[in-house]
Amino acid sequence: MLPQFNNNSFLETALTHRSALNESISSSKESNERFEFLGDAVLELATTEFLFGKYPTEPEGILTAYRSALVKTTTLAQVAQELNLGQKLYMSKGEEATGGRSNPSLLADTTEAVIGAIYLDQGYQATKNFLDQHLFNKFDQIKQQKLYQDAKSLLQEIVQAKGHEAPVYKVINEEGPDHDKQFTVRVVVDSKPAGEGRGKSKQVAQQAAAQQALKEFGGT
């Protein structure tokens, strides 16, 4: 669950999607984008510190892969889902109608914004405590299932080992202005859809689609 805030306006801003500003749904006068910016930086530092202490003999390359797995969109979206952040978000009816409350990219951004809000409200140690409880506790499973590996590479390795054709990635939807694109990518194996993913770039969406496909092919 979310911690008790000393200044509730921080939490409200963290939960305010920019679409809500035009409809006066939230009392916040700004969206959560600045909080997301701050939370992203705090998250990277805290995650680096956590992994550096947990694995004192691992080389830099492995630690980087571990960190990427912890802070990627699908992991942060899972945190948001467990905290029910999607239902708490202030957003326009239009954004909600297009699936905003369950959009993994949007949920991940909200998690980062909440991290930024906790840091502003209670400081670094409280933020680390929150991450210990809601994010870092997922790492043992990530490591056991090798989710720190590049999802596209892992999917290709698994499907070809099973005698299937190499995965093919197709952009099936592209929306939003140039500075804030959202891509939806479908991965196809043996001419059949195997997974879909969304992200702010084609590369991120491809990784999300591969991660979804890994569930079907036994990679996770």
- DSSP-based helix, strand, coil % in the chain, nearest 5: 65, 10, 25
- Residue 40 is among the residues annotated as catalytic for this protein: yes
- Residue 112 is among the residues annotated as catalytic for this protein: yes
Token duo for residue 62 = 């492995």
Catalytic pick from 36, 40, 95, 109? Answer: 40
CB 164 within 8 A of CB 190: yes
d(CA 43, CA 81): 18
Catalytic pick from 36, 95, 109, 112? Answer: 112
Separation in Å, CA 65 to CA 47, 72, 76, 149, 204: 12, 10, 16, 7, 15
- Please list the active-site residues: 40, 112
